[in-house]
Amino acid sequence: MPSNTLTLVQFQTTEHIPNYSPFCVKAEVLLKMSGLAYDIEVLDDPRKSKKGKLPMVRDGERVIADSEFIKRYLIEEKGADFDSHLSDREQAQAHAFSKMVEERLYWTLVYDRWIEDDNWPTIRDFWFGKMPFPIGALISRVARKAVRKNLNGHGIGLHSGEEIYALAKSDLNALAAQLGDQDFLFGDKPCSADASAFGVLVNADRGILPSNMMQTIKSYPTLVAYVERGMQRWFAN
Ligand SMILES: N[C@@H](CCC(=O)N[C@@H](CS)C(=O)NCC(=O)O)C(=O)O
């Protein structure tokens, strides 16, 4: 029986990384930033969630699906304040940065993990390896096909790997330039855009799932330090 009214429903956590889903990390960071108490429930099949994806938050009878609506819910219904220390212009820039990270950089990571042939066997074994043969092999093939379709629907999957990594680099360049010598994207205090950026960057920097981005991000010492700062601040225990 959960002891807190708020429950974050997300994929299995691991010792290597807060969550292999950047959006689940984002939601958990927002919860931590809000100071509200919450429980965690693991759901490994996102099809069972309200919108077919994770994360999701449960508050008593209410179910809020999607990290952006979770953010809104925390602000509007729970009094959380993530961005009021930013000027209107900074809030607009923070919004643009979080959308760049979620709507573009995230998809380069998805490509990297699921489509890049060198990485796929590790990813396949990690997600589907525990399923009995031939079910795991079959489901992994169907899942990869669905991811490929999603990437093509987004448009990014129509590019070559080289082009996709170039797009990723331009997003990483923008993040590194915005960060400069600050602790967080807009100064010494984190805002909601940091929850989005940290979610993707910690996935690019850490964990046992290989990705091309993992190599790339090492050439951005400020981003690596940013990930470490976020880990210390939000996931030290
Ligand atoms: N817009 C959603 C995106 C969530 C999302 O894409 N979640 C992925 C994991 S990172 C998921 O659940 N994928 C499962 C699927 O598509 O089957 C949010 O902000 O929460």
The best mutation among 44, 49, 53 to test binding of ligand 1, ranked by most ligand atoms within 8 Å of the C-beta, falls on: 53
Task: Report pLDDT digits (tens) over 14-38.
Answer: 888 999 999 999 999 999 999 999 9
| Cα–Cα distance, 48 to 63 (Å, whole number) | 13
- Ligand 1 site: residues with CB under 6 angstroms? 21-23, 46, 53-55, 66-68
| Cα–Cα distance, 41 to 49 (Å, whole number) | 12
Using the mean position of ligand 1's atoms as its centre, give its distance from the Cα of residue 66 in Å: 8
Residue 211 pLDDT grade (very low, low, confident, very high; cuts 50, 70, 90): confident
Class for domain 6-78, per CATH? alpha beta
Tell me where in the chain the CATH 3.40.30.10 domain(s) lie. Answer: 6-78
| Cα–Cα distance, 187 to 86 (Å, whole number) | 9
| Cα–Cα distance, 50 to 56 (Å, whole number) | 8
Q: What average pLDDT score do residues 154-159 get?
A: 98
Using the mean position of ligand 1's atoms as its centre, give its distance from the Cα of residue 25 in Å: 11
Asked if 210 contacts 201 with a C-beta cutoff of 8 angstroms, the reply is no
Ligand 1 atom nearest to CA at 22: 10
Tell me where in the chain the CATH 1.20.1050.10 domain(s) lie. Answer: 88-235
Give the CATH number of domain 88-235: 1.20.1050.10
